[in-house]
Structure 1
Amino acid sequence: MKAVVYRGPRQVEVREVPDPAIDQPTDAIVKITTTNICGSDLHMYEGRTAVEEGKVLGHENMGIVVEIGAGVTRVKIGDRVSVPFNIACGTCRNCLDGWTSFCLRVNPTEGMDGAAYGYANMGPYDGGQAEYLRVPYADFNLLDLPAGTEYENDFTMLSDIFPTGWHGTELAGMRPGDRVVVFGAGPVGLLAAHSAVIRGAAEVYVVDKERDRLAMAEKIGVLPVDFSEADPVEQIMAATGGQGADCGVEAVGYQAHDHSGQEHPELVLDNLVKSVRSTGGIGVVGVYVPQDPGAATEGAEEGRIGFDYGTLFTKGQRMGTGQCPVKRYNRRLRDLIITGRATPSFLVSHELPLDQAAEGYERFDHREDGWTKVLLRP
């Protein structure tokens, strides 16, 4: 089959690789209909992770089941499904507690709980930027979708970024009537803002410097904050009468840059601590890693980010972190899409055949105007 393979920093190629096969009785094989390039894929693409050359990339996947193992009883051949980016066994302590993003059984990488498709340090699993994908523990992991092709561009967001955006608001402890600030107007940040609106936020502020992304934020009914024009904390404090937001979402991660393009891994964390009121909550869903070969500081190379923890403590703020347990949210988010309450497809800017994946990566990585969310169609 054809698949997108990592070759080195800023190098991916589409090439022939072996077809996936049933390895365990609980496996299924999914024919991919849509797979996305995620912002977190760019960390690997840029050489900022420990991903190995030859890895098949892609963790935002959906498609049709074409083969099942002998132990699969719920999922049927022909089912249209969303594939959560988390790979989870369903029976370990963390899975039983609803933390499928930290499954204790599926990742042999030392010191890492939780696994994912086609991602650094997240186990030996091939990704789905390919024609087919092997899904372990299929009965537990796969989410049923209505047959046909309706809502394809909405449903493809269920594997990661829509649940992750929603999770950011959950980690922040958001309640109806809250003022919410989201740092980062990339796909996850925009869907965190969309989630906050659906959940009844009084006001939502989205901080970024890219004009096309801020324009998209405004179109979904939230307030854009351009940090290239003025200090974002001052803008938020002024907009909230000096009180600050009730809670905030970090949707940028460890490659945060200031308005001049200089990298500061602690920048967004510091700004959130300053712009969220005392006793408010902060949800961190932007990616941070234990090792960063291209880090701006020596400490950050080892995952040590020196943010303003002292002020976080004195303000009595709460901070939640970590990858999203997709299964906790995806069924409800699917139904919000079907009923028209949620339309995450507003993000989609480009739909490309799999053969054009290298171009999609390059242009998305350059943050070219209008390149907001790229879908690949094997």
Structure 2
Amino acid sequence: MKAIVYRGPRQVAVEERPDPKIEQPGDAIVRITTTNICGSDLHMYEGRTSVEEGKILGHENMGIVEAVGPGISRIKVGDRVSVPFNIACGTCRNCIGGWTSFCLRTNPTEGMDGAAYGYANMGPYDGGQAEYLRVPYADFNLLELPPGTEHENDFTMLSDIFPTGWHGTELARMQPGDRVVVYGAGPVGLLAAHSAMIRGASQVFVVDKEKDRLDLAGKIGATAVDFSRGDPVEQVLDATGGRGADCGVEAVGYQAHDPSGDEHPELVLDNLVKSVRSTGGIGVVGVYVPEDPGAGSDAAKEGRIGFDYGTFFAKGQHMGTGQAPVMRYNRHLRDLIIGGRAQPSFLVSHELPLSEAVEGYDRFDKREAGWTKVLLRPSESA
């Protein structure tokens, strides 16, 4: 099969790899119909993680079941499915508690709970930016979708970024009528804003500096805040009569940078503490890592982010963090799509065959104007 393989900083290649096979009774093989380039993939692409050379990338996957192991009883060959990026056993303490993003059994990496496809430090699993993907514990993990091709671009968001955006609002303990501020208008941030709108926010602010992303935020009814034009905290406070937002979502992560391009991993956390009212909540779904050798300070290289904890404490705010347990939300979000209440595909800018993925990575990584979300079609040729 053809697959996208990591070959070093800012180097990926389309290569021939062996087709995956059933290795355990609970496995399924999925023929990938759509797989996405995620903003999180760019951390690896840029050489800011310990991902090993030769890894097949891709954790946002959907497709058709081609084969199942002898232990499978629910999923059938021919089913159209979404593949959560979390690889979960379904029976450990965290999975039973609904925290499939922190499965205790699927990741042999020392000190790391939770596994994923094609991702650094999250187990030995190949990703789905390929023609086929092996899915462990398939009866537990796979989400059935209506047959056919309807909502393909919406459903492909169910594997990660739509549940992750929703999770940000959950971690912030958002309530109907809240004013919500989202920092970062990348795909996750835009879907956090979309989630907040669906959940009944009275107003949603989206902070970024890229015009194409802010335009998309405006199209879904959010208030765009361009931080290249002035302090975003002041803009949010001015718009809320000095009170601040009721809660906020961090959708940027450890590579946050100022308008001049200098990295400040604490920048968004500081701004959220200032932008959110006292006793308000902050949900952090932007990626932070235990070690970042490419960081600009010794502390950040060790994963130590010196944000304004004193003000956070003084304001009595609360913060939730971590990767989304996709299965907690994906069924509900699927049905919101089917019912016409959610349309996460509004952010899709490019649909490419797998053969054009190298260019797709390059242009998405450069944040070129108009490149907001890239979908790959392994079954299509250039």
Tell me which interval the TM-score lies in, with the shorter structure as reference length: over 0.9
Alpha-carbon distance in structure 2 between the residues aligned to 1:204 and 1:43: 27
Structure 1 counterpart of 2:79: 79
> Secondary structure of 1:133's match?
strand
Alpha-carbon distance in structure 2 between the residues aligned to 1:311 and 1:6: 41
1:206 aligns with 2:209: no
Structure 2 counterpart of 1:347: 347
Q: Deviations over 1:89-119 (max 9, x none)?
A: 0000000000000000000000000000000
Deviation for aligned residue 1:82 = 0.1
Alpha-carbon distance in structure 1 between the residues aligned to 2:36 and 2:198: 24
- 1:1-378 alignment, distance < 5 Å: 1-378=1-378
Give percent identity, aligned residues only.
83
> Secondary structure of 1:139's match?
helix
Alpha-carbon distance in structure 2 between the residues aligned to 1:138 and 1:84: 10
Question: Which amino acid in structure 1 is aligned with residue 242 of structure 2?
Answer: G
Question: Which amino acid in structure 1 is aligned with residue 281 of structure 2?
Answer: G
Alpha-carbon distance in structure 2 between the residues aligned to 1:110 and 1:97: 22
Alpha-carbon distance in structure 2 between the residues aligned to 1:228 and 1:348: 24
> Secondary structure of 1:73's match?
coil
Question: Which amino acid in structure 1 is aligned with residue 139 of structure 2?
Answer: D
Alpha-carbon distance in structure 2 between the residues aligned to 1:281 and 1:145: 33
1:172–1:320 CA contact under 8 A, matched in 2: yes
Alpha-carbon distance in structure 2 between the residues aligned to 1:87 and 1:25: 16
Alpha-carbon distance in structure 2 between the residues aligned to 1:115 and 1:184: 25
> Secondary structure of 2:305's match?
coil
Unpaired segments ≥5 residues, structure 1 = none
Question: Which amino acid in structure 2 is aligned with residue 118 of structure 1?
Answer: G
Alpha-carbon distance in structure 2 between the residues aligned to 1:11 and 1:125: 20
Alpha-carbon distance in structure 2 between the residues aligned to 1:31 and 1:206: 36
1:236–1:244 CA contact under 8 A, matched in 2: yes
1:6–1:13 CA contact under 8 A, matched in 2: yes
Deviation for aligned residue 1:214 = 0.3
> Secondary structure of 1:235's match?
helix
Deviation for aligned residue 1:122 = 0.2
> Secondary structure of 1:228's match?
helix
Alpha-carbon distance in structure 1 between the residues aligned to 2:226 and 2:13: 35
Unpaired segments ≥5 residues, structure 2 = none
Deviation for aligned residue 1:297 = 1.1
Question: How high is the TM-score relative to the length of structure 2?
Answer: 0.99
Q: Deviations over 1:184-237 (max 9, x none)?
A: 000000000000000000000000000000001000000000000000000000
Q: Between Structure 1 and Structure 2, how many residues are aligned? A: 378
Question: Which amino acid in structure 2 is aligned with residue 374 of structure 1?
Answer: V
Alpha-carbon distance in structure 2 between the residues aligned to 1:292 and 1:14: 27
Alpha-carbon distance in structure 1 between the residues aligned to 2:367 and 2:93: 40
Question: How high is the TM-score relative to the length of structure 1?
Answer: 1.00
1:47–1:293 CA contact under 8 A, matched in 2: no
1:55–1:126 CA contact under 8 A, matched in 2: yes
Alpha-carbon distance in structure 2 between the residues aligned to 1:294 and 1:377: 32
Deviates more, 1:296-305 or 1:221-230: 296-305
Question: Which amino acid in structure 2 is aligned with residue 312 of structure 1?
Answer: F
Alpha-carbon distance in structure 2 between the residues aligned to 1:174 and 1:17: 45
Question: Which amino acid in structure 1 is aligned with residue 363 of structure 2?
Answer: R
Question: Which amino acid in structure 2 is aligned with residue 124 of structure 1?
Answer: P
Runs (4+) of structure 1 exceeding 4 A deviation are none
Question: Which amino acid in structure 2 is aligned with residue 229 of structure 1?
Answer: R
